[in-house]
Each structure stands twice: as structure tokens, then as C-alpha cells.
Amino acid sequence: MLLLKAALYSIRMFDRVSSSLREVFSYNPSNKDWEPTPGVVPKWPGPTNEPPSDEPFCGFMNEKPWCHQSRSSSPEIALIISILVILVFSVISFATFRFYRRKKEVNSIDRWILDAADMIPRRVSRTSPMSSSSSHGSTQQVVSETSSSYPYMYYIC
């Protein structure tokens, strides 16, 4: 003869007032159902005060189909590519703008016109200390020795 032990299970709740565990549900092996303890209202954790689910959201082995839906990352990739294109376009536009602005400044005629008030004439002689100095081949020495028809040199202020 085989004797089976009756399964006695209970769900207990910690009571903060009395600092003890109180039985909330007990298992009835005759009808195989959980019966609430009379006069005790369970306080479940969480905002809804409902008992937790008996199965995880994605299942115990991650077998639920809604957890396997692949999330498309194409909007994120499109956003990153468009930001990079805008950034590269902005850098190229800025560099081109600076290049042409600088080119315009260099080519403007106003920079290359010399005013007579900016030039100071200075008499150049053959016996100047510059011609007898050791710096042979300087511009001033060549001008003073070779250009006898131009007795003046001009310095720009």
C-alpha cells in the first residue's frame, strides 16, 4: 500500500504593522485550487495592486512571437546618413566660400593701386654706404649702379 503525503502550500504576505507573515492563500489538495484566507486582503507590490503574472512577458525560454519581431533600424541609418551629408556639405560650402572671398580680396584692384602719398623718394648715389658694404647683389646696390637714368629709389610706407 502506497501512502501519499498531502501537499500543503500557502502564500504568505509580510504585514508591516505586526512585523509578521500572514497567510493570504492556501492550497486545497481535494479540489486542487487556491482558496483565499477570509478577512485578509493581499497587498501586491506595484501600482496596480494585482498579483504578478505567472509567466514572464517573453516566456520562460523567450518563445513568445512578439519578442522576436526584428526592429527595423533603417530610419536611424537614414537619419545618420542625412546628418553626415549635411555636415560634409556645410564644411565644403564654408571652405569654398572662404576660398572665393580670399581670392576676391587678392584680385581686387584697390589693393594694388599705389598712391603717390605712400611713396617717399630717396636719392641714390654711387658712393652710398650701401654700395660699399659687403652685401653684394642687393636690390638697392644693383639699382644704384646700373640705373644712372633713375637717380631716385622709392620706398612704400
Q: Which domain holds residue 126?
A: 111-133+141-156
Judge whether 42 lies within some domain: yes
* CA distances for 153 relative to 21, 38, 114, angstroms: 111, 119, 15
Q: Quick one: CA dihedral 123, 125, 127, 133, positive or negative?
A: positive
User: How far apart, in whole angstroms, are the C-alpha atoms of residue 9 and residue 25?
Assistant: 9
In a domain, 104, yes or no: no
In sequence order, what are the residues at sequence separation of 6 or more whose Cβ sits closer than 8 angstroms to the Cβ of residue 39?
Answer: none
39-60, pLDDT tens digit by residue?
888 888 778 888 888 888 888 9
Looking at the structure of the chain, the number of domains it has is 2
Q: How far is CA 41 from CA 10, 12, 53, in A?
A: 15, 11, 18
Is 96 a domain residue?
Answer: no
The answer to the question of residue 152 being in a domain is: yes
Per-residue pLDDT of the chain (157 residues; tens, 9 = 90+): 566 666 678 889 888 888 889 898 888 888 888 888 898 888 887 788 888 888 888 889 888 888 877 777 788 899 999 999 999 999 999 999 999 998 888 777 666 677 777 777 776 666 655 544 444 544 444 444 444 455 555 555 5
Contact 69, 78 (CB under 8 A): no
Q: Tell me the sheet residues that pair with 21.
A: 14
Contact (CB, 8 A) for 21 and 30: no
Question: Where is 156: in which H helix or E strand?
Answer: strand 152-156
